[in-house]
Amino acid sequence: MVRKSLLVLALLLPTTVFAQLVETIEVRITNLDVVVTDASGRPVTGLTQDDFVVVENGKEQPVTNFYEIRGTAGKGEAPDAAPEVPPAVAKRRIVVFVDNYTIHPLARNQAFAALEKSMSQIIRDGDEAMIVFWNRGLEIVAPFTSDRAELLRRFRAAAKESSGGMSLETTRTRILNHASQMLADAAAPSQNKISVPRAYNESIASARDFAEEVYAIEVQMLGDLSRMIGTLAGVEGKKAMIFLGAELPDQPGLEVFQQIDALFRGHMRIDRPAFFREGGKRSLGADMRKVARQANANGVTMYMVDTANRSRRNDPTEGMVDASADFFAQTNTPIAMSTIAAITGGVSVAGGKSFEQALGTISDDLSSYYSLGYRSPDAGEGNRNVEVRVKRDGLRVRSRSTYIARTPEEDVRERVIANVFHASVKSDFDIDVVAGKPERQADGQFRLPLTIHFPSSMTLIPQDGQLAGEFAVYIATGTDTGSVSEVTKNVQPMKFPAGSEKAILDMKTFTYQAALLVREGEQFVSVAVVDSVAGSAGFAREKVTAK
């Protein structure tokens, strides 16, 4: 996601105002989406609030909100929900994230055909969905929309573009083949052009370069994955990300070090195998856990689809791989994917010839679940361990295992970014944003005037014979292609004469003016106004074209 500069110049228009004095109490409600299945993996319906136990940081918490959504709807229809389930709770928002760089072309064709066929089941009436392709960079193929036909049209167009799936596999095979050839040359008496230790060291150097490349690629991809999770911040309902990819190893390139160690082991003494020397240098475990924690912070369930065919049949390096190296090659990515899914309450499924079955599992998971809410007993920010149990024997429960209580500042900033991508971010009060005519500047950027209207009922408290309060304005810009600016913040204190209640109530709204420096082109301006005393916030966005 490309970062852009954003300059905010703001002025609160002078007024005489009043805000209602209220006592504000923060009540933190934690919502959990819970999937319950039997021993065969079939969804279990009909449970009640009394069947569940929620434990936070080792202490049982009473469930305050409880809804069941059942997956008994027909193909393409919204999942059934009891009449008392609020529409906002039953609504689903889904991001489909395709790691187009690592998927092998053959697996890609199978996966895309299955995804297209399953689209009407995964994305149903009333859902909002976004499709993202990643190919050494982020491309939003389809921004959030409820139009399935438009999603399919854009997906088909993007699917015709090439992928980078052969690149990593080709490089891996080339390194191992070259190592094998160097060993053969070094070991042959008549062709002793290079020593065995030198051949080993050069092979390890090539493997190290490959591991560094894969590590850099995956770090970049995980960063963009995290940003797309942020697009779901601050919205209600079922939130999910479906990830399709073939490479997400905990320790990039480690199987190549293992294979080279095994290849040379019978020809030289290896006191410290490269597998051990290189193993801890470039682990992605912390990055993956960070992504999972962010998903949990935003209530996003991760569904991981491993698109790789991990069978060794027809593998050109089959003859040079020992059992331990083969085991690690087969499990490095699947275990990492399973870890992310488990932390967030999702599932990890293998593709191959069973892509449709894998996607069907995800579709069932999205359609049949329970929504639970409880009041978190701890004030402040930080990580909470959460466990959901059922009191009936033989049932399996899946839900996110952690809850991150973020600062209000972190929460608002993420919701401002999410508001760039869709207008579904929950507001405590309505605000209005009006963009003026962009004016081209000498450096090629555009000065964009903004006028922001928001209710005059901001919270004030008595202070030194006056009424005092404060509001903050957050602004970001972004495009449908995924670029987004930094979030800027401007804080405006307020002081008004005592006794001016009637005048303020009659005004209805405050007016705030700002000017942005934006780049040329079409983009969204996302704005939040936060009542600093009450902690409430309003969100709005405006589409503008600077030219």
Domain coverage including residue 528 = 8-25+407-546
| 114 and 262 belong to one structural domain | yes
Dump pLDDT digits (tens) for 359-370.
Answer: 888 888 888 999
Asked if residue 467 belongs to a domain, the reply is yes
Helix (H, G, I), strand (E, B) or coil at 207: helix
Is the domain of 178 the same as that of 111? yes
> DSSP code of 43?
B
Residue 328 lies in a domain: yes
334 lies in the same domain as 416:
no
pLDDT attached to residue 3: 43
- Which of 41, 217, 143 lies closest to 423, judged by CA? 143
Return the pLDDT at 354.
76
Run of H or E including 64: strand 63-70
Mean pLDDT value across residues 258-285: 89
Asked if residue 508 and residue 536 are part of one domain, the reply reads: yes
Identify whether residues 298 and 416 lie together within a single domain.
no
Residue 2 is assigned to a structural domain of this protein: no
- Mean pLDDT within 239-267: 91
Q: How many domains does the chain have?
A: 3
Is residue 413 located within the same domain as residue 299? Answer: no
pLDDT band at 113 (very low <50, low <70, confident <90, very high): confident
Of the candidates 472, 28, 419, which has an alpha carbon nearest to the alpha carbon of residue 233? Answer: 419
CB 454 within 8 A of CB 508: no
Distance CA 315, CA 382 (A): 47
In the structure encoding, which two tokens stand for residue 517, read together?
């420096």
Instruction: List the one residue out of 380, 514, 537 whose CA is nearest residue 455.
Output: 537
C-beta of residue 519 within 8 angstroms of C-beta of residue 4? yes
Q: How far apart are the first and last CA of the chain?
A: 22
Residue 481 confidence (pLDDT): 76
Same domain membership, residue 389 and residue 500: no
* Domain CATH code at residue 538: 2.60.40.3880
Choose the final residue of a domain: 348, 381, 405: 405
Same domain (yes/no): 16, 50:
no
pLDDT of res. 11? 40
pTM of the model: 0.85
Residues 383 and 412 in one domain: no
The verdict on residue 1 lying in a domain is no
69 belongs to a structural domain: yes
Whether residue 428 lies inside any domain: the answer is: yes
For residue 24, pLDDT over 50 is answered with: no
359 and 478 share one domain: no
pLDDT tens digits, 382-440: 788 999 999 999 999 999 998 877 788 988 999 999 999 988 888 999 999 999 999 99
One domain for residues 178 and 306: yes
- What is the amino acid identity at position 300? V
> Does residue 3 fall inside a structural domain?
no
Among 345, 367, 389, which residue terminates a domain? 367
Compute the Cα dihedral for 452, 454, 459, 460 and give only its sign. Answer: positive
Q: Answer yes or no: do 440 and 529 share one domain.
A: yes
Whole-number Å distance between alpha carbons of 287 and 284:
5
Q: Which of 380, 405, 430 delimits the end of a domain?
A: 405
